[in-house]
Structure formats: structure tokens, C-alpha cells
Chain A
Amino acid sequence: MNYYVKRLGRSLLTLVLVITITFGLTRLMPGGPVEYMRAQLRAQNPNLSTEEINQMVQAYVGVKPDEPLPMQYLNYLVQVLQGDLGRSTFYDQPVASIYANAIPWTLFVLGTALIVTFVISVTLGALLAYKEGSRVDTVVSSISVIMNSVPYYIAAIVLIAVFVTWLGWFPLSGRSSIDIAPGFNIPFILDVTKHAVLPMLSVILTGFGAQTLGMRGNSVRVLGEDYIRVAQLRMLPTHRIAMRYVARNAILPIYTGFIIQIAFILGGSVILEEIFRYPGVGFYFFNGISSRDYPLMMGGFLLISVAVVLAVLIADLTYGILDPRASSGGGDSEAY
């Protein structure tokens, strides 16, 4: 119980912190959103009163500049919690609705990529451990290291050059082709998949290396544990030892790595979706940056953060199921 409560508390805290950061950046940064908005609005509407300008600022960024700071913070908090992320200056639409449309796509691409990466790393890592020292081990391990040294956006560039420009197998950009009607039918699904393959591949190819090596190391260690010897002595079937004994115990430590990866990959959506011109959360976020559309930018940051917090929470909670020792909590260490 304890464990779950702790994790939940941590997630809430992160959430509050993220909101506070966005508020701080919005309100307090010199030359930040509020000042910028106010200056812009005043330039566009020279004959409005300060009060009216302030009200417009609030509509866009959710912060009313002339209120006392705590009030501003409180109002902002309430608005954000109600799902009001302000209004995009660039699209002139509520930020929330822009992102509501984009979220499923990002989750689809990155979620799939993450899961595939995880599955590949776990299987490959365990396999390499069994074949420790063999040729396959050396080759695959080396490849893993090399792939791990490639930034995902570089992989994206190379994939485009190879599969789009030279081979022409995949489309360059977008979520789906314009000429195919959206719906739950085979052509559309195929089309959507085609558009998503390269972004997914960029994540998978560059992400599997580190975790494969981690899994390999853990499996090698687990293979040396006493309980593996005892299991072998008990003449348990090899596949049961591989799955229930080796894999199960070796996954646990890399789970933490996996959790960190979530934040990394979701954050990476910005540049990935920009390269593939894939209208997801990162894409709009980046649009917000390049067009100085602060509400759009801040909303995007908030959303990506929330996604990370939720994903990490899910991962944390499942970890509790995976490792019976986690939920009983380690003894608190004595302070010096």
C-alpha cells in the first residue's frame, strides 16, 4: 500500500511543480510570455485601456498581470485544472482543443514505439545473456552500442533519406494521406501505419541498444544467482527457468531505466514530429515556439509533462506488481 501511496504522491507533486514552472516561466521570466503578450496586444490595439489589455492577456495566457502574485497563481492553477490552457494566438483557437486533437496521434506513435523497444530489448538482452561470449553476443552487443550512440533525430534524417527519398517506400510527412477518408477501414489503417512507421523506427532503433545491454547485464547476473542453480537442480524445464526465473528477475532493474526513457522519448516528440511534420503534441508545441505563440507553447509543455507523469505512474504501479518486494518498502535508513 505504502509503495503505491508514495508513488502517487510523487506524481501529484511533479504535476504541481510542472504547473508552477509553467506559471513561473509565463509570468516571471523577463521578456517572457506575459510581457510579450502585453506589448503585442498594446501595439495591435493602441486605444484599449490597461484593464482591457490585461483581460485579454488573461484570456490568452491565463494570467492577469495586475493581480497580486498569489492570486495569479491560484487563478492559473484553477484554470489549468479545469482544462483551460488559454488561447492560441497563432491558430486563434483554444489551446486545449488543438491538443485534444493531437494527443491520440502522439500516444499512438510513441506508445507503440516504447512498448516495442521494451519487448525487443528484453528478449534480445536475455538471449544474449544465454549466449554470453559467443559471436552473436559480440556482434549484437556492438550493434547495440553503435545504435545507442545515434541521436534519434539523426536516425530520423537517415531513415527519411533512405526510405523516402531513395526507396520511396514511405510517405514523408503527415498522419495520413489527404485522399483517404478517415474511418475504421483497412486502407485507412494501412495508410496511418505507413505514416507512423518511420517515426516509430527512429525511436526503436536508437532506443533498444541501451536497454538491451542493460537486460543482458542483469540476465548474466541473475544466471549466476543461487536460485537458478537450485532450479536447475530441481530439473525444471529450461523454458520455465528462462521465463519465470531469469527474465522475470532481470527485468526488474531495467524497469527503472525504462521509466526514465519514457520522459526522454515523450520529450523527444518535439523534434521527431517536427522532422516528420507529424501533427502531434510536439509538432504544435514547436509551432508555438517558432511563432512565439506562448499559450500554445506553455500548454504543450504542460501536456507533455502530464503525459510523462501518467506514463511513469503506470510503469511504477505495474512495477509494484512485478516485484513483490517493492510494495513492502525497504527499511528507512538511519540518519547521521
Chain B
Amino acid sequence: MSKTIQHERESDMNEETILEIRNASVTFDMDRGTSRVLNDVSVDVKRNEILGIVGESGSGKSMFADSMLNAVVEPGNLSGEIIYHPEDGQPVDLANADRETMEKYRWKEVSMVFQGAMSSFNPTQKIKDHFTETIKAHDHSLSEGMAHARELLTKLHLDPERVLKSYPHELSGGMQQRALIALSLVLKPRVLVMDEPTAALDLLMQRSILGLLAELQEEYGLTVVFITHDLPLVAGLADRIGVMYAFELAEIGPADQMLENPAHPYTRDLLNAVPNLNTPLDEMKPIEGSSPDPVNDHTGCQYASRCSLATSKCHSTDPPFEQAGDDHETACFHWERAREEIPMAIHDDVPTSDFAVQGKQSAEPVVTLDDVDVHFENKGGFLSQLRGESETVYAVNDIDLDIYENDVVALIGESGCGKSTLGKTAIGIQRPTDGSLDYRGQDVWETRDGGSGDVSFNEIRQSLQLIHQDPGSSLNPNMSVAKALAEPLKQAQSDLSFKDRRERILGMLEYVGLTPAKDYAERYPHQLSGGEKQRVALIRALFMNPDLIFADEAVSALDVSLRVEMMDLMLELQDRFNTSYLFISHNLENARYLAGKTDGRIGVMYLGNIVEIGPAEEMIDNPKHPYTKVLRWSTTDVDPDEDVEEPPIRGIDIPDPVDPPSGCPFQTRCPKAREQCTKEAPSLEASNVDGHSVACFREQDGDHPYWDSEPVEEVDLETDIFGPDLPPAARPETDTGSGSQTADD
């Protein structure tokens, strides 16, 4: 199943160009002037290669993708040439072709997967009709076409019959994305352009799709242009990588060179800004400033305003492409200096942990979750209620968690695994179905229901705050920043005078770098960027003087280069305000960054259960639960030498939380599952490392029935991440584990 793709392809002979993009520009006429959202980009796409195009949001990646199919959205205007070289026959310029010509090439030869698969299917039509109509529209044989479609779907680990019969909304995001890939390949095109095909998906699904894609590319001799904002993601997949900045191509070269020794200052800065597991925490640094407006004129280097090496020449003259290595071109005057003066933070050896901020956790927990369950009833209609039919979503199951003062707990897990529900329960805005939530030893919901206690419910309410994921909706559009920030002060410190409030607001704005503060205070949310909004939301939460802030994917919506900045700010303010964070993330890097810097913990959730929790670096270096190991494995290191494989799991799709598997929740996908795992659920038990708990039978002693039961399914694994099939005490000692021999139970 997880086949390794040879990296050195035996394709030197057809190292020829299949798609030639010449001076492609896209412009929009707007009230403010002409917006040039793709500026004179020229690239050759080679036959049978995977070309990765990387850029931040708004850098013009989608415009580039659309140009390749001459499919720029309506008022947009494409100029330049897009020359397609068919295997046999004359080259055609797709940018200037009529509909008849396009019919021959679009989708048939050059096909595309759009950003946002969720909206690429007609919601009122079955998946099958999408395939048949496409086949018919191009006069292909229906039976052959459908047979190919079924084959593709099967290869993508979908059940063809079930998927074809479904309406789009009946499939999960990952299934829709794979069905869309099949749809784009059904006519056997030569080139596949993919615009952020995995951006909306979970880590494991992303990895699975990349693995499948590599297989398909190999099998059908495809040429793939893979567009993403996530540099590490394409590291192992792409043969070449191009980096876009401000509507232009900044640099392009072989993947390994682009990652190990890029020449353009922007590429180097970008790599240093991306949180990843290999970089020492204190060497990551954000890129200051923001990217230019497409309406401004485009003379000089676009990066000049943010570049540390910029000279006056950079501001006045467009840097031409220069050869920076074999097949490696970069648009920078000073690329040689860049290589010398901008060090790369990535080191191959795993760093020793040294923490910037030392947590000073208390002995008594601030918040205690005791055996908490949250189940949602999907009530259904009146009659089905009578018949007692109702669906229960098991969002959170039997969770115990203590959060201390100045603590950081980072939870990770796939979407729908109950992270947010757990977080909401922890700050008392979601009532648990069972179990209790204590605030400093006092039952929160009892207090709320009128029980007595030292602390009033209102005080508890104010002590537990949150920051949301989406900066776009985190602030009331009708309130100025000052007004939005006055609200928490009024609630928490009602004795402050108007003047004091104003002073504190301005002071805080200043502190988080929103200067001039007076100016920012009067702004409305639509006048702020995403990162700025998120900072205001953070201040708003902190002004309540909370003991715990639940940060629900608070940095996920921000641009890669802004994430580190935001997390640093969160940590800095933690120190100042004496607060704790329950931080949710869907990736291990951010979790490690935040939890690692404060001596905090990382918890891993799967289907409503915490399956493993422990000190941050310990969780990264020495994960014990098979699921954590898979996550760790899937977290792409910025390493072009490693080939893409599918993650070592037995199934791609997560089980439905309405109908969770019996026994261990991970049992349906765990490569190490045995009969015992289907019968009994393992509980979270402390391991030999302090504060590290795991819920897996493999951490049990040799006399546990797991060791004697039969594997559920024989799986051939190429990785050895799961270690030998032996009880902990019998395993040979490894140098990463800190004391696996001295089990003291």
C-alpha cells in the first residue's frame, strides 16, 4: 500500500517542456486603478515532473494556476502565452485559443483541481453524474470512461459504488477531495494543475493524498503542478519548487536546493519563519512587514521593503533572473550575499531542548476536568423521537485533565475529534453530559445552577476566556477597536474610570505593536489585517484577567510567516498576565512551539479521547501511542530527500463519531491492533516518564491479554516507527527514551 516512489526518475530522456508559460500577466480593472495580480511570470513545466509552487496567501498563486488553463475569473484579463506541447502534434497557445481548440485541450490534456473541493461539485447532482457528463461532453466512450473512473476511485481508497451514488454533501471533505482528483483524471490528461488541493484537510489526510498523488503521477505519467502555501508539504513530493512573492516568481530550482540552500532572501526568510520540528525554537523568526498592494506600480524588487539586504538598486530596478546553481534561478541582485548573510535555521540534528520561557506551574490545578463526557443528541423529527431513534454524537469521552497556573496544554487531533468541544467544556461554555468541571476545586456547573461556593459563577465565567480561530469574525464589525476593548474592562474592572480604561487600552495596543495606538484604537475591524485582529482579540481576552485562555486554532488562519509572531506574543503576555493556555492546533509544529517554550504539555486526541499526553519535547521525541507515532511520522520535516509515502495506517477515513468503534477508538486504523483491542478500551495510564500518559495496550506488561491475542489484520509496514512487538519491559533500550527499562509499577 505505501509504495515508495523512486525519486530519481528515469526521465532524463524526456526532460522536455510540456507547458511553456511566457510572460503571463493577469490584471483587474478596479476603481483604484489597475490591479496587477500576476506580473510577467515565465516558467517551463517539464514533462513528467512535479512542480511545486509556493507562496503566501494573496501572492498570486491561484492566478498562476488559473492562467495555465486560461481560466482566469471574469473581469480578469490574461496576457502572455501559455504554450502546450502535445506528445505528438503542433504546440498550441492556450492563452489565445478559441473555444473549439480549448475543447480539445482543457480537461482532456490539461486538467485542474481547484482550491476548495467542497464547492467544486454541484450540490444537487450525484457524484456519478459529474463523471458521466464529463465523459459525454468530450465524446469518450461512457463504459470505458466509467471503468477508468472506478479504477481511479479505488486507487484513491474510495468505494466506487458508494461514492458514485452519493450526493456531494454526503461525503466528508477528504472524500470529496479525492473524488475531485478522480474527476480531474477521468479523461487521462497529461498535465494536472492542483491549487491548494489539501489546504482544508487534516494532516493525515494531506499526507495520504500526497502519497496517492505520487503513485498516480508515476502510474499515469502525469505532469503535476502543485500549488500550496505550505513549503514543507511539497518538500518530499516535488522535483522542482518555485516560490512566488507579490505576484511574481521569486525563485525556482530543484526541490533539494530550494530547501537546503535557497538563494533568494525571501525564500530563506520564509523557511526560517515556518515552525517545524527540526528548528531550534529560538532560531525561528517571523518576517517583518507585509506584502505590497497589487495596484501599486511594480518597479524594483517587490521584496525590497522587507528585505534585510536591500540596496538602493533593489528599489529602482527589477532584478532579473540569475543562475544560482544547476537549473536554479533566482530574481535577486544579491543572492550570493543572501546565502552568506541569512543563515538557515534548519539543522539536521534534532536540537537539544532549551526553553525560552520557563513555566512556573502551581501545585493546585486551576481547572480540573473529571471524567468528562460530552454527547450531542441529534434529535431528529417528532416521530423518530417517539420511536426512540436518535443519533448520539460522542464528541468527548471520559476525559480527565488538570490545567495549572501558568500552564500550557496544546491539544492536537484531526478535525471532528472533539478538540473544540473539550476546550469549550474546559472554559465552562459547554455543559458536560457527564463528569464535572472544577474551578479551583469548586464545581462550575453546580455554582452556575445556584450551588454555593466561595467564588461566584460570574467570577468563574470571567476567569475562563477564549480566542477564536477566524480573525475575520472575532471582532464586532460595528465597534471600533477601543470600544471592543473597553467591553472586557467594563466587565472585569468596573471601577476603572473612563480615562483609566482608555490609558490601559492604548498602553496595551502599544505593547503588542499596534502603533500608533491612538490611530489603531479608532479603527474598525475591516481596517485591520488578520494578524492585527487576532492581536486585538488576544488583548480582549487578557483584559478579563483570566486564569485560563482557550485558544481555538488561534493562529491557524494566519499566514505562515505571522504564526510564530503571534505565538511569541501569546507567550510574552502569558508571563505578564499570569494566565494559562489551552491551545488547540491541528498540527504538531505549532503545538510544539507553544508548549515547548513553556515546559507545557501536548495532548493528542482521537475520536473524543485523549490517547496520549505528556511533556512537549517528550511527546515529539518519544511518542508512545501508535496514533501519535503516525502523526509524528506524518509531520513533514523540511526534507526533500525523504520520499512521500502514505502514512502507515490501515484506513484513510476517520470513523463516524456517531458510531464509534468498539474497544480502542483507534482500533480500525491502528496497524498494531489485535483482537483484544476490539473488545476492550485501553484507559489513559501513567507511563514511566513523569507526566506522560498513554492509552494503549502496547504499553502494558507482558501478562496483558493484548500480547496473546491475534492481530486484526496483517500489515506490511515499511517503517519501524512502532517499535518491536514486545511489552515495554522487554524492549531493547533505545537512546531516545529516557528510562524505558525502569518501570516502577
Contacts and interface: CB of A to CB of B under 8 A. Distances in A.
Contact of A229 (B71, B103, B133, B183): B71
A135 interface: no
Nearest to A252: B124
B123 A249 contact: yes
B491 interface: no
Given A2-B380, A5-B382, A226 B123 contact: no
A265 to B, nearest CB: 27
B123 A325 contact: yes
Most buried by B among A1, A232, A235: A235
B90 to A, nearest CB: 21
Given A235-B102, A249-B122, A9 B382 contact: yes
A233 interface: yes
A41 to B, nearest CB: 44
A329 B382 CA distance: 13
Contact of A329 (B71, B114, B380): B380
Interface string A242-258: 00110011001000000
A235 B103 contact: yes
A248 B107 contact: no
B154 interface: no
Nearest to A331: B378
Interface in B141-175: 167, 169-170
A5 B384 contact: yes
B114 A235 contact: no
B169 A6 contact: no
B137 interface: yes
Contacts of A233: 69, 71, 106-107, 112
Contacts of B103: 235
Contacts of B524: none
A328 interface: yes
A10 to B, nearest CB: 10
B67 to A, nearest CB: 13
Contacts of B378: 331-332
Given A6-B382, A9-B381, A328 B169 contact: yes
B134 interface: yes
Interface in B488-544: none
Interface majority SS (helix, strand, loop, mixed), chain A? helix
B138 interface: yes
B125 interface: yes
Interface string A162-205: 00000000000000000000000000000000000000000000
Contact of A236 (B102, B137, B380): B137
Interface in B593-613: none
Given A227-B119, A324-B123, A234 B107 contact: yes
Contact of A227 (B71, B122, B138, B167): B122
Contact of A249 (B124, B169, B382, B383): B124
Contacts of A225: 119
A287 to B, nearest CB: 40
A324 B114 contact: no
B583 to A, nearest CB: 23
A235 B123 contact: no
A5 B119 contact: no
A240 B167 contact: no
Nearest to A227: B122
Nearest to A3: B381
Contacts of A236: 133-134, 137
A226 B169 CA distance: 15
A244 B130 CA distance: 11
* Band of interface residues on A: 20 to 34
Given A227-B119, A229-B73, A235-B106, A322 B124 contact: yes
Contacts of A240: 133, 137
A332 B379 contact: yes
Contact of B119 (A226, A232, A237, A323): A226
Interface in A16-33: none
A141 to B, nearest CB: 20
Nearest to B169: A325
Contacts of B114: 226, 229-230
A323 B123 CA distance: 8
B707 interface: no
Contacts of B112: 233
A3 B381 CA distance: 7
Nearest to A236: B137
Given A9-B382, A226-B114, A226-B116, A323 B124 contact: yes
Nearest to B379: A332
Contacts of A9: 381-383
B169 A324 contact: yes
A231 interface: yes
A249 B69 CA distance: 26
B381 A5 contact: yes
Contacts of B379: 332
Interface in B22-80: 69, 71, 73
B381 A231 contact: no
Contacts of A230: 114, 120-121
Nearest to B380: A2
Contacts of B134: 234, 236
Contacts of B125: 244-245, 248
A235 B107 contact: yes
Nearest to B125: A244
Contacts of A3: 381
A300 B389 CA distance: 41
Contacts of B167: 324-325
A6 B384 CA distance: 10
Nearest to A230: B120
Contacts of A252: 124
Most buried by A among B73, B124, B167, B170: B124
Contacts of A231: 122
A231 B107 CA distance: 10
Nearest to B393: A331
A67 B183 CA distance: 72
B95 to A, nearest CB: 15
Interface string B169-208: 1100000000000010000000000000000000000000
A128 to B, nearest CB: 17
A235 B124 contact: no
A1 B120 CA distance: 27
Contacts of A1: 381, 384
Contact of A248 (B73, B124, B170, B381): B124
Contacts of B129: 244
Most buried by B among A233, A240, A252: A233
B381 A6 contact: yes
Contact of B137 (A5, A237, A248): A237
A245 B114 CA distance: 17
A9 B133 CA distance: 39
A251 B116 CA distance: 24
Contacts of A322: 124
Given A235-B107, A324-B167, A324-B169, A2 B381 contact: yes
Interface string A303-336: 0000000000000000000111100110110000
Interface string A21-54: 0000000000000000000000000000000000
Contacts of A332: 378-379
Contacts of A325: 123, 167, 169
Nearest to A336: B429
A247 to B, nearest CB: 10
Interface in B381-404: 381-384
Interface string B353-393: 00000000000000000000000001111111000000000
Given A230-B121, A233-B112, A325-B167, 8 more contacts: A226-B119, A227-B122, A244-B125, A245-B122, A248-B124, A249-B122, A323-B124, A324-B124
15 contacts: A1-B381, A9-B383, A227-B119, A229-B73, A230-B114, A232-B71, A234-B107, A235-B107, A236-B133, A244-B122, A244-B129, A248-B125, A323-B124, A328-B169, A332-B378
Q: Which 4 A-B pairs have the closest CB atoms?
A: A226-B119, A2-B381, A5-B381, A324-B167
